[in-house]
């Protein structure tokens, strides 16, 4: 996480604290919201290249403990020192970056997407409600419990609390409540706390192995990694990155978007998710896209979400 306990390499620290042999290395990579997914690709590529046969890949983020930071002064006795919240967003901005591309915040990039693609506030709130409803159904039916490791906490009095489910979900959400929320990021804006993902803590990990190693260890594979791809877009339209990346990976795999039985798409913002769906030719309420809900309901621990 960004609070400092990770000693700058949370992957290596995790292997040590998990009791793995000290000979097992660990490396931390950074693609912001895509870091967890990129870690899986990193592991798969290593196996394909013959650099390993079994790896643990995943992501972690503790946004609740992200500290405030202050940069060193550019000159003696400078009074220009700024303090930044490291939870999310820009800090220590490179002046050339600001000049050439601007420094839109994440909600502002979602506003840009909504304006460009003419995605209405009503459509965004409806999407957010579906995310809450699908997540609530998946949680109550026990589907999400299959992939959760409970967290056990003990306070100073010895009272034990076991957290068995994601806490950000608001199953009682109604469309009327979503419509009543303010859009604080832009005059006449459409992005609200209700149609955006939440600030959360989380961790996730998967075992990535070669077919031979999986068989040798008696493991039953849940999936096979066929292809991977990333792509860049205009920074002010950050959330549309999955569109060219999806087209690229489908081309590599020799498939089309309509060959997909289940699609998991990050819901950083309803505007961003709807923009991706529409650009890829999928309906707003496609039942096979995030069938068990998404980040608007579950939250979005940045480095973890992709895993």
pLDDT-based confidence at residue 286 (cuts at 50, 70, 90): very high
Q: What region, left, alpha or beta, does residue 19 occupy, with left being phi > 0 and alpha being psi -120 to 50 degrees?
A: left
pLDDT score of 118 more than 60: yes
pLDDT-based confidence at residue 66 (cuts at 50, 70, 90): confident
* Residue 35: both structure tokens together: 């870091």
Mean pLDDT of the chain: 94
Question: What values do phi and psi take at 284, rounded to 5?
Answer: -55, -35
Check: pTM over 0.75? Answer yes or no.
Answer: yes
Percent pLDDT > 70 in the chain is 98
Q: Each residue of 146-191: pLDDT tens digit? A: 889 999 999 999 999 999 999 999 999 999 999 999 999 999 999 9
Q: Does 90 reside within a domain?
A: no
Q: Does 83 reside within a domain?
A: no
Q: Does 64 reside within a domain?
A: yes
Query: Domain of 267: which CATH number?
Result: 3.40.47.10
Q: State the residue range of the domain holding 161.
A: 10-68+102-305
pLDDT score of 82 more than 90: no
Q: Does 207 reside within a domain?
A: yes
| Torsion sign, CA atoms 80, 86, 89, 93 | positive
pLDDT score of 3 more than 70: no
pLDDT-based confidence at residue 81 (cuts at 50, 70, 90): confident
Instruction: Count, in order, helices (H) and strands (E) of the chain.
Output: 11, 6
pLDDT-based confidence at residue 1 (cuts at 50, 70, 90): very low
Q: Does 143 reside within a domain?
A: yes
Largest CA distance in the chain: 64
Question: What values do phi and psi take at 222, rounded to 5?
Answer: -90, -25
Residue 153, pLDDT score? 93
Q: Does 293 reside within a domain?
A: yes
Q: Does 112 reside within a domain?
A: yes
Looking at the 3D structure of the chain, how many domains does it have?
1
Q: Does 2 reside within a domain?
A: no
pLDDT score of 6 more than 70: no
């Amino acid at each position: 996480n960004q609070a400092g306990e990770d000693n700058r390499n949370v992957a290596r620290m995790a292997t040590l604290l998990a009791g793995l042999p000290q000979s097992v290395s660990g490396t931390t990579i950074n693609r912001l919201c895509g870091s967890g997914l990129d870690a899986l690709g990193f592991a798969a590529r290593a196996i394909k290249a013959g650099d390993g046969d079994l790896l643990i890949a995943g992501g972690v983020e503790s946004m609740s403990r992200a500290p405030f930071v202050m940069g060193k002064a550019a000159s003696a006795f400078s009074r220009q020192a700024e303090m930044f919240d490291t939870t999310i967003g820009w800090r220590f901005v490179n002046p050339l970056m600001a000049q050439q591309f601007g420094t839109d915040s994440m909600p502002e990039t979602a506003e840009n997407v909504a304006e460009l693609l003419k995605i209405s506030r009503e459509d965004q709130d409806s999407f957010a409600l579906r995310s809450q409803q699908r997540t609530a159904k998946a949680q109550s039916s026990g589907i999400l419990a299959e992939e959760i490791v409970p967290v056990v906490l003990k306070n100073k009095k010895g009272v034990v609390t076991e957290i068995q489910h994601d806490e950000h979900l608001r199953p009682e959400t109604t469309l009327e409540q979503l419509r009543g929320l303010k859009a604080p990021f832009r005059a006449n804006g459409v992005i609200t706390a209700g149609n955006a993902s939440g600030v959360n803590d989380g961790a996730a990990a998967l075992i990535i192995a070669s077919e031979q190693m999986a068989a040798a260890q008696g493991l039953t594979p849940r999936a096979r990694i066929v292809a991977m791809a990333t792509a860049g877009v205009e920074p002010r339209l950050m959330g549309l990155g999955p569109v060219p990346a999806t087209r690229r990976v489908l081309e590599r795999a020799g498939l089309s978007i309509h060959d997909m039985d289940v699609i998991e798409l990050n819901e950083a913002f309803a505007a961003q998710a709807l923009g991706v769906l529409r650009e890829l030719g999928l309906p707003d309420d496609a039942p096979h896209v995030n069938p068990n809900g998404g980040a608007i309901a579950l939250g979005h621990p940045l480095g973890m979400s992709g895993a």
